Amino acid sequence: MNRWKSTTTIPSINLNVNQILHKADSIDDTLTYESVKKGIAYVANKEEFLILSASNGYLRMTYEELEEVRKEIAGILEEVDRKRW
């Protein structure tokens, strides 16, 4: 569920996860991605990378889960690198 959409800065973290994702979706040059596996969401642009936990706002996971997240992040960063800003 990658979406690019209108401005640049990733929304403030004082919003809840759904508000951050909704607001980020309206920003040009910002990628939002929701992980199917762990309830994790990512927001990325050329300046920042934000990792959100849909359940509790922070991340605690096993090393196996962390490796999965690392692979997802690597894929997102490749996509960010391919974008022309």
Contacts of 59 (CB under 8 A, 6+ apart): 40, 51, 53, 69
Res. 59: pLDDT tops 90: no
Number of structural domains (the chain) is: 1
* Nearest to 72, CA basis, from 32, 17, 35, 43: 35
Q: The domain containing residue 63 runs over which residues? A: 3-82
Q: What pLDDT was estimated at residue 28?
A: 79
Q: Over pLDDT 70: what percentage of the chain?
A: 69
pLDDT (mean) for 12-23 = 73
Q: Tell me, what's the pLDDT at 12?
A: 58
* SS3 per-residue string spanning 24-50: HHCCCCCEEEECCCCCEEEEECCCCEE
pLDDT of residue 41: 84
pLDDT over 50 at 73, yes or no: yes
